[in-house]
Amino acid sequence: MRKLVLAVAAAAVLMATVAASAQSPIIIKFSHVVANDTPKGKGALKFKELAEKYTNGKVKVEVYPNSSLYKDKEEIEALQLGSVQMLAPSTAKFAPLGAKEFEALDLPWLFKDEAAYAKAMKGPVGKWLFKKLEPKGISGLAYWDNGFHMVSSNRPLLMPDDFQGLKVRISGSKIADQYFREVGSIPQIMAFSEVYQALQTGVVDGCENTASNYLTQKFHEVQKHITISYHAHLQYAVIVNSKFWNGLPADIRKQLDKAMDEATDYTNSIAVKENEDALAEIKKSGKTTLHTLTDDQRKAWQTAMAPTYKWAKGRVGQEVLDLIAKELDIKMN
């Protein structure tokens, strides 16, 4: 009798477990390094909201902002291992994945404005770049915008000579490394989560980033001068672990694709305004001095950084440069 009771109890536990796991949601861990109150942070939360709504709660998205789960380099390893399912790193950080072609997007003064950037990414360039990720077990879902970079230090950066000897934090791209070297500075790759302290303690003298990142990380509080140079563009690729994504039930994946499309439109529609608002906030804070380049100063930067284009051929290859040039209707030499 006792054996029977035990067997019935065990069967009940088993059935309850099966029932619970049939109902328990699919978890998507979405890790990123910026604050919630930025274009990417808001985009991730929008995706969470829509994904959970369209799948009727069958999917739960856990967003981990501000490097709270992983830092830059670790998060890409974690994605490949399947410890997280979704990331949106800046495309300047893809070389460790063996996809250095993405760095072509970091060329200085490549996109004359936001419209040029959007046009290039909507065309074949974006898709061609995503193909480079497939052999690594990673699928690209979307590109998210975060506008143009400013640059800062504790001295005004107005002419190329002002960069001489300056230790500048960069996020990973060898193209950025190159254009900063061409103006005489000393670039150094560093995780985003370490930048504030490095600027504060003088481990580095300066950095580049968008207004929304300056504001939310308080970089402007530890940099006396910011130049609104808009010399390069910052964009993200939303990426997933392919095995995870392709293994999802087809109807769920369809809903998630819809959620991602809408979250992408949303993010790309707010990026410019978010950065304008952040810039206004930085100005209002009075904690740093903002500089705008004159035409002559901008031309001097462009001339000094121009050799990056020739150098880039050996780094990213001719094919991607040709694709971008065609899309933007420009000549790259």
Q: How far is the CB of 209 from ligand LMR (least distance, A)?
A: 5
Q: Which residues bind ligand LMR (CB under 6 A)?
A: 33-34, 90, 146, 171, 192, 209, 213
Q: How far is the CB of 20 from ligand LMR (least distance, A)?
A: 37
Pick 90 or 275: Cβ nearer ligand LMR = 90
DSSP lists the bridge partners of residue 292 as 228
Q: How far is the CB of 193 from ligand LMR (least distance, A)?
A: 9
Q: What is the DSSP letter of 164?
A: T
Residue 66 to residue 30: CA distance in whole angstroms:
11
Q: How far is the CB of 121 from ligand LMR (least distance, A)?
A: 16
Pick 40 or 291: Cβ nearer ligand LMR = 40
Pick 67 or 242: Cβ nearer ligand LMR = 67
Q: How far is the CB of 302 from ligand LMR (least distance, A)?
A: 22
Pick 51 or 87: Cβ nearer ligand LMR = 87
Q: Is 332 exposed, middle or buried (0-12, 13-18, 19+ CB in 10 A)?
A: middle
Q: Find the residue with minimal CB distance to ligand LMR.
A: 90
Pick 146 or 241: Cβ nearer ligand LMR = 146
Pick 152 or 209: Cβ nearer ligand LMR = 209
Token output for 81? 């291992």
Pick 118 or 189: Cβ nearer ligand LMR = 189
Residue 22 to residue 227: CA distance in whole angstroms:
55
Q: How far is the CB of 38 from ligand LMR (least distance, A)?
A: 7
Q: How far is the CB of 105 from ligand LMR (least distance, A)?
A: 12
In this structure, which amino acid lies at residue 39?
P
Distances (CA, A) of 68 to 25, 30, 100, 131, 234: 23, 11, 26, 29, 21
Q: Concatenate the DSSP letters of all residues of 194-260 into one string.
A: GHHHHHHHTSSSEEEE-HHHHHHHTGGGG-SEEEE---SEEEEEEEEEHHHHHTS-HHHHHHHHHHH
Residue 251 to residue 244: CA distance in whole angstroms:
14
Q: What angle do CA 207, 209, 210 make, to 5 degrees?
A: 155
